[in-house]
Amino acid sequence: MKPVRAIISVSNKAGIVPFAKSLHELGVEIISTGGTARLLKENNIPVKEISKLTGFPEIMEGRVKTLHPKVHGGILSKRDNPDHVKTMEELGIERIDMVVVNLYPFKETVKKGSSFEEIIENIDIGGPTMVRAAAKNFKYVAIVTDPADYDKIVEELKGTGEISLKTRFYLAKKAFNLTAHYDAVITEYLFSINEEGKRSTEPPEFRNPLTITFEKVQDLRYGENPHQRAAFYREIFNEEPCVTNAEKIHGAKELSFNNIYDIDGAFNLVLEFDPEKDGIACAIIKHANPCGMALGKTPEEAYEKALKVDPVSAFGGIIAFNANVNEEVANLIVKRFYECIIAPGYSDRALKTLKTKKNLRVLTTNGLKNLESRGENSPFDYRKVVGGMLVQDRDLITVLPEKMKVVTDREPTDKEWKDLLFAFKVVKWVKSNSVVYAKDGIAIGIGVGQTSRVDAAKCAALKAKEMGLDMEGCVLASEAFFPFRDSVDEAAKVGVKAIIQPGGSIRDNEVIEAANEHGMAMVFTGIRHFRH
């Protein structure tokens, strides 16, 4: 297909002048609209205004300019269909062989905090209509939506004098992907607000059908295993501090699939703790589970306590902090091998020290801005299964002490309360079935991913003993209820004095009785934190 006539109407004008100039030199007549036409004329490129083609002026502040039979007839006509050709001749419709369009910057308008009225005005109508028309008719028309394709098209035209069917099909696929993404972005925004353009206070809907869209961040070296391809995508409007929005400021290698997954878990865990109220949190994650977690007055204190929990498993792990990393803790970290570290920020000296480790990936969230809006623009958790998708609310709930219920004869002491609340926040981020033993703001025993809760309790205690940690007077947290009293009996053997769990078992009375027999305090939260 050799193009004779092209419509050019772009919002993103990067590269459009040299591209249009090349088309003109190749004998392509250019039709254009509004600001694009002005720009091309300013650069001495001959342009026919869209109103000259349609015989109709742009109206309603530019809302209506390309929605015209002479535009869409020229795009959608089948060149080898005699009836189409006859209709074009009778109505004076000229064929349009190339459509160069990118769309109004809706997403950017939302992100810069524009008024509701301006955001609505940036919903493109004519652009997507032309894009879809040209993409549908790719057998005869080239649809160009990405400035990155300009050079390729010019090169092909100069080489063969035409745009191949293979290229036109490639461009059509990109075009439909663009319009699908564009409409999904608009959908995401509209479902987050009310009719007045204010942030909706209603729980987000489980829409039917579900249309979601993500932007590609990067290709990854591979997936969970080397034989699996992988890429990393981000949600459109999420600006909360997280691995997706973090900046990699050091590290020779790119992040891997497993790195990203582990960093996400590590950082979400430390964000459970307010550095001003609770203390500085340090989490060490290995294969999606914490192998070390502690609070401290300084980053180095929190790190040293977390490392003592399981220094063997910490090898090659991920470290996260809820506060800035200083030089003191950086000096400790570089003594061991870690894959990645993520924190709100780093002192200059800390960063200089960390950079001595060539392959340590260092990520910063540049503070904890927008932390209060966690979940606002990213309310759902998506889990892929073969042939389908599971969608649920993100587990962002924090259970307050006043909502909990002491169910035993003895109430927790103040110290026990502090450790219970710490342990329950930690166990939330441990794969089920799980338990966490805690003492003095340290997760001294972490039982992960067992098929029975009593095994989780035994494994966690065994690990703590192997590391030489004192368990006498510790507390235990379980992310779900105890189905039997056996876990309580195991906890008593290692010195547990208080337990926190959701409650809700048909044998709650037996479990409470066991706690009373052992002189333990037990608290029911009423909230379960399964994590699969």
Q: What backbone torsions phi and psi does residue 447 show, to the nearest 5 degrees? A: -100, 120
Separation of alpha carbons 176 and 167, rounded Å: 14
Strands 317-321 and 361-364: unpaired
The first and second tokens of residue 325, run together, are 């990393």
Q: Which residues contact 154 (CB under 8 A, 6 or more apart)?
A: 19, 22, 23, 26
Whether 287 sits among the annotated catalytic residues: the reply is: yes
Number of DSSP helices (H) and strands (E) in the chain, helices first: 18, 21
Phi-psi sector, 8: left (phi>0), alpha (psi -120 to 50), beta: beta
Residue 371 gets which letter from DSSP?
A: G
Let me know: does 373 contact 240? Beta carbons within 8 Å. Answer: yes
CA dist 362 to 327, 353, 357, 414, Å? 14, 11, 10, 38
Residue 122: phi and psi, rounded to 5, are -90, 15
Q: Is 473 helix (H, G, I), strand (E, B) or coil?
A: coil
- Catalytic residue status for 497: no
- Helix 16-25 / helix 34-42 crossing angle, nearest 10 deg: 70
Tokens (6 digits) for 60: 């309603």
The residue type of 355 is: K
The H or E element spanning position 228 is: none
Residues 54 and 71 sit within 8 Å (Cβ to Cβ): yes
**Hey, which residues does 29 pair with through a beta bridge?**
5
Q: How many residues does the chain have?
A: 532
Task: Indicate which residue of 68, 287, 308, 465 is catalytic.
Answer: 287
**In this structure, what is the dihedral angle of CA atoms 76, 81, 87, 88, given to the nearest 10 degrees?**
60
Catalytic choice (24, 136, 181, 465): 136
Across 192-343, the runs of DSSP E, i.e. the strands, are: 214-220, 230-235, 247-250, 280-286, 289-296, 317-321, 338-343
**Alpha-helical runs (H) found in 221-322:** 257-270, 299-309
Active-site annotation, residues: 136, 287
